[in-house]
Amino acid sequence: MTRLRAPGDDVRVATLDIGTNSVLLLCAERAEDGWRAIVERVEITRLGRGVDRTGFLGEEGLAATLDAVGRMAAEARALGCTAVAATATSAARDAKNGHVLVERAAALGVPVEIIAGEREAKLSFDAVAGDRAGPLAVVDIGGGSTEFIVGEAGRVDYRRSFDVGSVRVTERVLRGDPPSAESLAEADRLLSKTFRDVPRPPPGTPVVGIAGTFTTLATILLGIDFDGQRVRGYGIALEALDTLAARLAAMTLAQRRGLAGLPAGRADVIVAGARVAAAALRALGADRVVIDDRGLRWGYLYDRFGTDSTP
């Protein structure tokens, strides 16, 4: 991948992460000590609604996603961003008509790269590994896939993307409102089987959880609206995660929609998301996860525009 470079000492660029459930915007400015976020925000558009069943991106999800992409790109340009680049992940790469998203986004002036799961994993790892020393395990839970990456800054020892995420597990397995005990047990069996070959990192390796499921679990436990400063570095013990997963599963969708810290657009998939998170920690042999609000959009920023502070 050729890195894009913009002239001047005050470079601003934007990256978009077009996921199965949401679109995330990062507008960043290059400073002397690296990149500094100017604007970060997310919109739930559910691009991947039904993809697991039909194999195609639906028009409703496409329209909502492209509307968000267009508005975010316009916002970034208004803020002085000289380039806008986007990735699309699980839903777009699995759908037979993923090219439609790319073509329509191009008409909006936004180049979209549909990236493979292994590349998604590497970029997500790069987003958080640079300022951490020693071995690290990163788990990225999306709507359609979950990535595991183990390594150190500058080196990846293991990376793999699995086709299970909060939206996909919800649509494939969970039934009832609240979900039935039988469907919850089915979800747990599916996740245990899917993650069974994930290698355990050396004992004591920190586990970092990124993306919307993990940050949402943190905001629920904190009882706050999303705040990156408070979420980043927040630790969740596996026991607390199991307790929260059981609590969420016992609630109806209407009850979850009224829960502090839970965005309405995630209320229908957070039950599955919490179980994916718990299963991921068990697969790694970890009893705790540390949350980081950075993710793929930051890794793509570094990949496309460079990690150094020199334009």
Q: What was the pLDDT predicted at 156?
A: 92
Q: Which residues pair with 35 in a beta bridge?
A: 30
- Distance separating alpha carbons of residues 173 and 28, to the nearest angstrom: 39
Asked whether the predicted pLDDT for residue 189 surpasses 50, the reply is yes
Domain spans in the chain, listed from the N-terminal domain onward:
12-116, 118-292
Q: What is the mean pLDDT of residues 6-24?
A: 83
**CB distance 213 to 235 below 8 Å:** no
Supply 74's token pair: 């316009």
Q: What is the mean pLDDT of residues 36-52?
A: 93
229 versus 201: which is more confidently predicted? 201
Fold of 118-292: Nucleotidyltransferase; domain 5 (3.30.420)
Q: Are strands 136-141 and 146-152 parallel, antiparallel or unpaired?
A: antiparallel
Equal fold, 12-116 vs 118-292: yes
- Distance separating alpha carbons of residues 303 and 35, to the nearest angstrom: 12
Q: How far is CA 17 from the centre of its chain?
A: 8
CA-nearest of 149, 148, 186 to 169 is 186
Q: What was the pLDDT predicted at 195?
A: 98
Asked whether the predicted pLDDT for residue 176 surpasses 70, the reply is yes
Asked whether the predicted pLDDT for residue 1 surpasses 80, the reply is no
pLDDT band at 103 (very low <50, low <70, confident <90, very high): very high
- Distance separating alpha carbons of residues 258 and 111, to the nearest angstrom: 37
Q: What was the pLDDT predicted at 226?
A: 86
Q: What was the pLDDT predicted at 9?
A: 45
Supply 138's token pair: 């990163």
Asked whether the predicted pLDDT for residue 308 surpasses 70, the reply is no
Q: Which CATH number describes the domain made up of 12-116?
A: 3.30.420.40
Q: Where are the alpha helices (DSSP H) in 130-260?
A: 166-172, 181-194, 212-222, 228-231, 238-249, 253-257
Tens of pLDDT along 233-273?
Answer: 999 999 999 999 999 999 999 999 999 999 999 999 999 99
pLDDT band at 6 (very low <50, low <70, confident <90, very high): very low
Count of alpha carbons within 13 Å of 202, Cβ hemisphere only? Answer: 7
- Distance separating alpha carbons of residues 33 and 35, to the nearest angstrom: 7
**CB distance 177 to 167 below 8 Å:** no
- Distance separating alpha carbons of residues 88 and 254, to the nearest angstrom: 30
